[in-house]
Copies of this chain bind each other. A is one copy, B any other.
């Protein structure tokens, strides 16, 4: 997008490479920000200039450290994963995405079919892969649970607000009837105590 179509290969001229770097770097960061806002997802972006200077972006809620840490939580050591996956003859395209449980179990089963031929090295690989799957599963579990809590909290807010609006519409003399649901008051108003910890 510019006056001419640009082939995607290293720009030879140092100065235009620098200029293009500045422009596209800003564009990329802007788009990363937009994606995170529009779609309400976490995004982390790391760009190192040729001279090693770091430019980075992370979606507002989480610091880059958290996003990077989450990367470790999800993927663990990719060396382990790709090693184990190659070992098990699984599709490379799945690296970086999550293996389905079935793929994983298939791989394990194939390995276990002939147990006598398994060396301790095989078991180390298996252990790595299972550990990785465990970490991925755990990370996603935690994330989904937190998402569920957030969603429920939002819903609660909306319901409470609607409730309030409805209350206002009820003629005064009938209002006293509304004492049928006392339990509600005993519930906490916002984030449950049990979650404050996280």
Contacts and interface: CB of A to CB of B under 8 A. Distances in A.
Contacts of A54: 70-71, 74-75, 96-98
B71 A64 contact: yes
Report, as a range, how many residues of chain A touch the other chain. 35 or more
Contacts of A78: 63-65
B181 A162 contact: yes
B170 A166 contact: yes
B46 A67 contact: yes
Copies per complex? 2
Contact of A169 (B49, B147, B177): B177
Interface string A30-74: 011011011111111111111111111000000111011111101
Given A55-B97, A162-B163, A195-B145, A154 B40 contact: no
A189 to B, nearest CB: 10
A159 B154 CA distance: 13
Given A65-B79, A145-B198, A156-B156, 6 more contacts: A6-B38, A24-B34, A54-B96, A138-B138, A147-B192, A148-B149
Interface of A: 6, 8-11, 17-18, 20-21, 24-25, 27-28, 31-32, 34-35, 37-56, 63-65, 67-72, 74-75, 77-79, 82, 92-93, 96-98, 138-149, 151-156, 158-163, 165-167, 169-171, 174, 177-178, 180-181, 183-184, 187-188, 191-192, 194-195, 197-198
